[in-house]
């Protein structure tokens, strides 16, 4: 078990802006995450201002007087590097990963290519443009069905489909229409683990047993979805350790320093990394808080540890004319 060290409380006595909502398909989840974070930080004595990010978010931030941003956004604009770049430009420290790590992790195909090159186990895949996928058939794949179809750049399993036959393929084409380039992966069967990492320490893992075919958006967030979470996982210790090691390797490889959640399938040949989530949800059903609680960390303690790791990626300003 990795030692997390003490809580420092770097931003106690300073205003914290919890930025949520935004413009993506995951706005509703982000609002739930942000409300939970704002409430828990207030309970720990922090001066918190909640910001529902609009197109005037720069003005909102400046008016807030906040010294640090707790980034509770999800999806496009919030976790793909764009908001991080804006905060770097403004010189405001923020939670989560920096511009480069955020962008790389959000672009699933790029992240997988990097992991594959480094020897991290990932599923076979192919990337097609939206137009190519719309006119393709399963026979065009370089591997047999079943397959997983997902947008290259979305989170919370938005637009994800399991394809087992031609009918599933046609449905997937409709589900993913309008969501950009398409990543198609060979389906890997096996237990699914989500591994939480904070800084350079593994918090732990939870086994996810979805009641439906796979752990989709509704299975993650809908009340009464029937999804079961097993803490600790019902698996041999060696398998759990292998999944945690693969997750930590992915976290480090992408340049992450904050809190991440990596989804791993324990396939017939060992762990297979699905993706790294750089802004994991913090709702009542979210996995990282569940894992932290099993580790003995309250929700507020987890958030304060994440806040302690806030940073800004902008180098010191160079004087004009230098």
Phi, psi (degrees; rounded to nearest 5) at 82: -70, -45
Return mean pLDDT, the chain.
91
Whether residues 291 and 194 fall in one domain: yes
Q: Is 71 noted as a catalytic residue in this protein?
A: no
The span from the CA of 110 to the CA of 257, in Å, is 19
Of 24, 156, 161, 286, the active-site residue reads 156
Chosen domain end from 186, 202, 235: 186
Q: Is 221 noted as a catalytic residue in this protein?
A: yes
Total structural domains within the chain: 2
Q: What is the pLDDT of residue 322?
A: 44
Of 80, 192, 207, 263, the active-site residue reads 263
Q: What is the pLDDT of residue 210?
A: 84
Q: Is 189 left (phi over 0), alpha (psi -120 to 50) or beta?
A: beta
Q: Is 26 noted as a catalytic residue in this protein?
A: yes
Whether residues 204 and 291 fall in one domain: yes
Q: Is 94 noted as a catalytic residue in this protein?
A: no
Q: Is 281 noted as a catalytic residue in this protein?
A: yes
Q: Please report, for the chain, how many H helices and E strands are present, in that order.
A: 11, 12
Spell out, as residue ranges, where the chain has pLDDT lower than 50: 215-222, 316-322
Spatial neighbors of 177 by CB under 8 A, at least 6 apart, are 130, 134
Chosen domain end from 186, 212, 237: 186
Of 24, 26, 32, 217, the active-site residue reads 26
Q: Is 209 noted as a catalytic residue in this protein?
A: no
pLDDT tens track for 145-196: 999 999 987 755 667 999 999 999 999 999 988 778 999 999 999 999 999 9
The whole-model pTM stands at: 0.90
Whether residues 160 and 176 fall in one domain: yes
Could you tell me the residue range of the domain that residue 258 belongs to? 189-297
Chosen domain end from 154, 171, 186: 186
SS (H, E, C) 35-66: HHHHHHHHHCCCEEEEEEECCCHHHHHHHHCC
Spatial neighbors of 194 by CB under 8 A, at least 6 apart, are 205, 206, 208, 261, 262, 263, 264, 287, 291
Q: Copy the structure tokens of residue 212.
A: 């439906």
If DSSP codes are grouped into helix, strand and coil, which group holds residue 109?
Answer: helix
Q: Is 32 noted as a catalytic residue in this protein?
A: no
Output the domain CATH number for residue 158: 3.30.1490.20
Whether residues 234 and 283 fall in one domain: yes
Of 71, 102, 161, 277, the active-site residue reads 277
Of 70, 94, 217, 221, the active-site residue reads 221
Q: DSSP assignment of 196-262, as one string?
A: EEETTEEEEEEEEE-SSSS--HHHHHSTT---EEESS-SS-HHHHHHHHHHHHHHHHHTT--SEEEE
For residue 230, the Cα-to-chain-centroid distance in whole angstroms is 20
């Amino acid at each position: 078990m990795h030692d997390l060290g003490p809580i420092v409380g770097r931003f106690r006595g300073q205003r914290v802006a919890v930025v949520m909502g935004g413009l993506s398909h995951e706005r509703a989840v982000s609002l739930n995450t942000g409300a939970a974070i704002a409430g828990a930080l207030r309970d720990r004595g922090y001066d918190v201002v909640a910001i529902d990010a609009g197109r005037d978010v720069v003005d909102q931030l400046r008016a807030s007087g906040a010294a640090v941003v707790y980034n509770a956004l999800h999806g496009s604009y919030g976790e793909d590097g764009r908001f991080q770049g804006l905060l770097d430009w403004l010189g405001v420290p923020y939670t989560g990963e920096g511009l480069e790590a955020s962008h790389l992790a959000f672009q699933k195909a790029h992240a997988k290519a990097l992991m594959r090159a480094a020897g991290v186990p990932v599923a076979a895949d192919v990337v097609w443009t939206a137009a190519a996928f719309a006119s393709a058939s399963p026979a065009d794949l370089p591997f047999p069905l079943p397959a997983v179809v997902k947008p290259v750049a979305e989170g919370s399993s938005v637009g994800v489909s399991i394809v087992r036959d031609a009918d599933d393929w046609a449905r997937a084409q409709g589900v993913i229409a309008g969501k950009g380039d398409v990543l198609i992966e060979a389906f890997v069967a096996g237990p699914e683990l989500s591994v939480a990492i904070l800084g350079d320490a593994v918090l732990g893992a939870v086994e996810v047993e979805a009641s439906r075919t796979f752990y989709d958006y509704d299975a993650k967030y809908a009340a009464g979805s029937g999804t079961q979470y097993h803490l600790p996982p019902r698996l041999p210790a060696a398998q759990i350790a292998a999944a945690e090691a693969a997750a930590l390797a992915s976290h480090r490889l992408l340049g992450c320093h904050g809190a991440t959640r990596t989804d791993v399938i324990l396939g017939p040949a060992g762990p297979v990394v699905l993706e790294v989530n750089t802004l994991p949800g913090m709702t009542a059903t979210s996995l990282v808080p569940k894992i932290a609680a099993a580790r003995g960390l309250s929700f507020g303690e987890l958030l304060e540890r994440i806040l302690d790791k806030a940073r800004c990626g902008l180098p010191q300003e160079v004087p004009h004319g230098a």
